[in-house]
Every structure is written in structure tokens, then in C-alpha cells.
Structure 1
Amino acid sequence: MGRAGQALKQVLNTYGISQNQLASAMGIGRSTVNHWVNDKRDPLADTIPDIVAALERLDKASAQDFLVLYLGRTVYLRNSP
């Protein structure tokens, strides 16, 4: 499984966020998220900011954890207005 898919699967499980919730927050189909978390397809690099933004709306801590898991290091998110 790709690093992004692994990180996303772990974050969704940890924070109790459903694939449907993430898909809805991103404005995409649930099957796309399902493909990411089940190692059928990795999200494109330009999709990562969209994943982070959607996770921030659902649970800010989940976005931070996703980035740490995905990048392998701590990242600081800007405060949203």
C-alpha cells in the first residue's frame, strides 16, 4: 500500500471518520476514497492538499496526524481564518 493510503486508513480509523464523510467533504465519490485506503490506487500528489483541507474541516487533529504519518515528520498547519 502506498504511504498516503496507509496514512489515510489509519487516520480514518483513529478519528472515526468514515470514507463517506471524507468523500463528501472533498466533493468526490466514496469509491475513490475506498480505492485509496484499500490499496487499489494512490491519491495523486496534487490531491494531498485537498485531503488535508477536508480532514481539517472534519477534525483538525486528524489532518495533522495524516501529514505526520504521510511525511514521516511533524508539520505545522497554518491557522485558518
Structure 2
Amino acid sequence: MARAGKALRQVLETYNISQNQLAVAMGIGRSSINRWVNESRDPSAEAVIEIIEGLEKINSSATRDFLVLYLGRIVENDNQT
């Protein structure tokens, strides 16, 4: 699987975000980020949501890039009421 880890590593490098910065933004230990980035463990679905929220606190462009790299595309909400 490891797609999330690869996407996360690329985004952190591209936007010069440290693993510690993301860990602080997510309120977790840096070791979890390190395991994901080094692909020794995949983040759970809940953790992916937390990654997205953490990246959003740091850089919204990084969030968008993570989603594109992880999902392959971003699905826009077409439901307008």
C-alpha cells in the first residue's frame, strides 16, 4: 500500500515541513509520522484525516498536493443548494 507514506514524504519535502511540525499540528508523537514517511507502517483511515487536518493548519497548498498524490485526484463537491 504505502501510497499515503510516499505522498506524505513528498509533500513534507516539497513544502519544507518537518515531521515534528506536522506531529505538533496533529497532536501526536513524531515517531508516528516517521513510520508513515519511511513506509514501515501505513496510517489508518482516521490518521489520514488527521494528516489532512494537520497539513491544513500548516499550509493549505500542501494539503491539496497530499490529496492529489494520495487519491490521484480531488473530487469537488458539485452539490450546490
The alignment's TM-score, normalised by the length of structure 1, stands at: 0.89
| Deviates further, 15-24 or 39-48 | 39-48
| Unaligned runs of at least 5 residues, structure 2 | none
1:47: which partner in 2?
47
Report the alpha carbon displacement of residue 74 of structure 1 after superposing the two structures with TM: 2.8
**Does 2:61 align with 1:61?**
yes
Q: How does 1:2-41 map to 2 (within 5 A)?
A: 2-41=2-41
Identical-pair percentage: 60
| Unaligned runs of at least 5 residues, structure 1 | none
| Deviates further, 5-14 or 43-52 | 43-52
The alignment's TM-score, normalised by the length of structure 2, stands at: 0.89
Tell me the alpha carbon deviations over residues 11-41 of structure 1, each in whole angstroms, 9 at most, x when there is no partner: 0000000000000000000011000000110
Instruction: Give 1 or 2 for the bigger CA radius of gyration.
Output: 2
The AA in structure 1 aligned to 2:40 is: K
Q: Structure 2 vs 1, CA of residues 71 and 9 (structure 1 numbering), >3 Å: closer, same or farther?
A: same
Q: Which runs of 4+ in 1 moved over 2 A?
A: 74-77
SS at match of 1:10: helix
